[in-house]
Structure 1
Amino acid sequence: MAGEETERSPVSISLPPDVDDWLANVADRYDESREETCRRLLLAAHAVATDDADAIDPDVLSSLPDAADLDTLAADSDLRELETDLQTDIEDAREEFQDLLEDVRDRVIQVKRETDAKAPAAHDHSSYADQDDLESVQGTVEAIDRRLDAGFENFEEVLEHLLERADEVESRATVLASAVLDLRERQETLLERERRRARVESLKLAANRLGVSSAACEECGESVDVALLTEPECPTCASTIADVEPKSGFFGSPTLVTGDPPALEGHARSVAAEGPSDALEAVAAETADDDEVTGGFRGAETGGD
């Protein structure tokens, strides 16, 4: 009696939405109530659990979900779960956006208040350019553009002219460099000539002071008339004469010392130091005789200009 009361006692359970929908579909398919469908499913589950397959109602077996129904049920469950997750994410994003929007609005209001507090109420923008100034600047820019366009129309002609002038200047520079080198060589020649002439003059002056009119060459022994010397060297052996020495003893004879001239000692050196000769003045005097050459060169340059 107690078992019958327990078997007949009602049971109330809460089902998930997807299971509840599936149970409603099965009940509609067999045209019965949800309670009846649930009762038959429980009886079938009990028979399977107790291995009493004969006790299972065929209608109950047919009402059980097949593989397609299970796949559909699982897909529906996944979709509902995904929809729930998406809805949650959307709500979270909306709340975050609202927070950021409120923060930006507060910042804008704060900046606006600070700006209004710094600027006087009756201020203007006189430091900025007005429309007339902008039009004036624009006109100036357009005029410059037109001038540039007009200037570049004959750009090739100007470039060719400049290239020709550059070639001409280069040619003149070459001629001038050649002339400078030639003048330098002539100057060196004249300086060397003047040095040799001054050397001869110093030898003659030294011999005159010593009372020597002729002396024997130290190198070859030949007698040389000092007054007839034109070069500071022996006319017989061409040895360079460095100095004049008077005769030593009663039977000695004056000697023309050969070799390189001494740096500080000797009669000719001291005479040359005391003499008024100037090599540069001599060069200037001799170059004055060559006015025709330099004048012709200058005339050619002036005519070329």
Structure 2
Amino acid sequence: MESEDAGHVPAEEVPAAVDQWLTNTADELGVSRQRLLSELVAGHGTLHERNGSDERLDELRDDFMQKLTDVRERVVQIKREADDKAPEDHEHPELRDELAGLHDELADLRRTVDDGDGDDLEPELDALRERVAENRKRLDSGFENYEEVLDYLTETTDELDERLDVLARALVSVRDQARTLAAQNATRAATAELARTANRHGVTSAKCSECETSVTIALLTEPACPHCGATFEDIDPKRGFFGSNWLVVGRPPALEGDTTDPDFESRSKSGVDLDHDLNFDGALDPDSDLDVDDLLNEVMGE
């Protein structure tokens, strides 16, 4: 081990109290007295080594202060024990000399730490302290208002969800109205085309080829038989004097039907009163306060 490689430390005569302290400390640490002395000498030597790291310097300082405190406490303890066992006017020249030597050595160690390697590390330590202080300040300032920011984000998200629900419902309603208008336009166009065809052939009435009932073409509002509901596709005028005009039944055009979006409920949750803003067929109520353009401008503007 490193402490064992430090070499043998020659034993010097020390007062019995100091010798007893060394023995007790070695027993507490579970090492030999000689090894404890070797590690103390090795620790003293490391104070003179240049590490170049603030962590090492702090470690040396902590170790030095710990040993200094330990020595002071032990000196006080020895003095108290000596005061209890000996007269107040007695003296221990050997102990006084030993303590004076320890104080001198500790003073030298402190000067070595404060005036030696510490000077080279001081700029780096100052820079590290500034960085730590700056990071701590930024961290503290970042978490000062995090609850306020979180509440704001939550409220904003809820408000946007509400507006998106309203917008989704409005867009579905607009789409349904567009489909309805397209179907109505297709119906009117088919009826007008049927009337033009009848006018070209001079036909005012014709029989439905499905139910054979006579139908007045000018009264039709849609290209369908008012009796059986069959959809008219064309007119077949009579070929002879005794023939009949016929309304040819074909495939019905795309008419108004169920325009409710099957996925409407899964995409929209809340935000619009359907009974108030939408009528029974999914179209916007003309008397409703819900305006699609206003909704779009409001949502897109924010």
Q: Which has the larger radius of gyration?
A: 1
TM-score (structure 2 length as normaliser)? 0.42
Higher relative contact order (CA 8 A, sep 6+): 2
